[in-house]
Structure 1
Amino acid sequence: MLVHRRWESLGSANLGWLRAKHHFAVSAEDNPEHGALGPLIVWNDDEIAVGGGFPMHGHRDVEIISYVRQGAVGHRDTLGSEGHVQAGDVQVMSAGTGIRHAEYNNSDVPLKLYQIWLLPRVAGGAPRWDTKPFPRSDRSGRFVVLASGFPEDEGALPIRADARVLGAMLKAGESVRQALGSSRCAYLVVSSGRIEVNGELMGPLDGAAITRVPAAEITALEDSELVMVDTGPV
């Protein structure tokens, strides 16, 4: 089963310095049909103006993955961590028992990033933060695991959720098959380009909830950048 969440159907917010589209409903004004998918509860497509950002604020018991698409995000938190995370990089924050952090656009172009929230397997635990570059060239023609709650995914940033975050770069005409299994589900976003997935045409910035199928069969209709979260049962 595939449910296409087209860009124009997504909820949105505009605070001037922040323009966001919500693949999953986060307020009463958002599309009520766009509910959580297993532990995946938030996927925001954020654009933050130069000089803008989120002031110091807190989280607990959530895994937050930031996928930077354009520009760079500055990070600082109550653990003493500071970072400069640029396009192609991924950062993860396990909020655990509680952490406060600030994020801001510290580049000279609008910052575009995905903010993905997952519920952890178990509440609590020490908070932590990490980041890592994932060159787009390494994802050419295939999905690469960027963050994972499974120890066998060597090289991925660790998270505490029953999920994997994956990225792929496909040239026009290339195809990839990502195994899922009937007991798992996935959410796929076309960061750029156009694709066909399991017979469904998807345009730039569209999303799709994929459930109860053995695999996602994807063909790029033009050069495309893809991000997917493979999660536990719905």
Structure 2
Amino acid sequence: MIDHRPFKQLGRFRNDWLNANYHFSFSGYHDPERMGEGALRVWNDDTIQPHSGFPPHGHHSMEIITYVRSGAITHKDSMGNTGRTEAGDVQVMSAGDGIQHSEWNAEDEETTLFQIWILPRTAGGKPGWGARKFPKGDRSGKWAVLASGTGEQDSLVINQDAQVLGATLKQGETLTYEVEAGRHGYLVLAAGAVELNGIRMEARDGAAISGTESLELKGLEDAEIVFVDTV
């Protein structure tokens, strides 16, 4: 089953520095029909104004993946990790038994990103952070593993039986994926337009996939895709 979730129907939050759009219930937005998809708990589409961001705050027992769409985000945490992640690249923070961090747009332009939270296999454990470059040319017309529970394809490692995948698709190209029985999928179009099993998806739309499903994506425009496959 595929549940198309147009961008205009997402939850919303606005203040003077943050424009947030929620694919699932989060903070002050609550929808009992959108509490997550399997172990995937949060997918936020954030626009952060220049020289602003999330001040130091804490997390525990969550795998937090940040996919930067434009601009860059600067990370600092209580373990001494510091890093700047640019557009198209990915960072992962395993909150473990507790970590404090800040995420700051130190740039002179807006930063746009997806923040994805996945519940871990087990609560607690040692926290950690890492980032990697994923050139879009390396995922043209095919899936690249950005983060996974096994570190396959030299991906970033998360504490869950899950994969975070990325792909770019040119107009007229097709791409397939098999969602296996007992697993869950969630796909968000970062840019462009595609047809997903006959459903037209525009930039920043989401689609929840439950049950066994053969997916076929057709590029209606040049497109950038992020997909989570999880228990």
TM range (shorter): over 0.9
3-state DSSP of counterpart to 1:142: coil
What secondary structure is seen at the aligned counterpart in 1 of 2:138?
helix
Identity of aligned residues (%): 49
CA distance in 1, matches of 2:110, 2:20: 12
Q: 2-side partners of 1:13 and 1:28: how far apart?
A: 8
Q: Quick check: 28-37 or 77-86, which moved more?
A: 28-37
The equivalent of 1:206 in structure 2 is: 205
TM-score norm. by structure 1 comes to 0.96
Q: What does the per-residue CA deviation read over 1:183-224, in whole Å, with 9 as the maximum and x for residues that have no partner?
A: 211000011111111121111110000111332211111100
User: Is 1:77 the counterpart of 2:112 in the alignment?
Assistant: no
Partner Cα distance (2:121, 2:29) in 1:
29
- 2:188 maps to amino acid: V
Q: Tell me, yes or no, if structure 1 residue 189 matches structure 2 residue 194.
A: no
Q: Which residue of 2 aligns with 1:7?
A: 7
* Contact residue 12 and residue 30 of structure 1 kept, 8 A: no
Q: Distance in 2 between matches of 1:77 and 1:204?
A: 32
In the alignment, does 2:87 pair up with 1:90? no
Q: Hey, what does 2:157 align to over in structure 1?
A: 158
Match of 1:167 in 2: 166
| Contact 1:9/1:31, CA 8 A, preserved across alignment | no
Q: State the AA in 2 paired with 1:211.
A: S
Residues 1:30 and 1:11: Cα distance change in structure 2 (over 3 Å): farther
Offset at residue 28 of structure 1 (A)? 4.9
Aligned to 2:49: 49
How far is 1:150 from its partner? 2.4
2: CA distance between counterparts of 1:39 and 1:210?
13
Q: Deviations over 1:71-124 (max 9, x none)?
A: 010111111010011111100000001000011001111000000000000111
Contact 1:22/1:30, CA 8 A, preserved across alignment: no
Q: Is the 8 A contact 1:10 1:31 kept in 2?
A: no
Q: CA deviation digits over 1:103-146, x for unaligned, max 9?
A: 10011110000000000001111100000000011010011010
Unaligned runs of 5+ in 2: none
Number of residue equivalences: 231
What is the aligned-residue RMSD (CA, Å)? Answer: 1.1
Moved more, 61-70 or 189-198: 189-198
Which runs of no fewer than 5 residues in structure 1 stay unpaired?
Answer: none
CA offsets 1:18-64 (integer angstroms, 9 cap, x no match): 00000111145444422210110000000000011111100000000
Which residue pairs with 2:63 in the alignment?
Answer: 63
Does the 8 Å contact 1:183/1:212 carry over to 2? yes
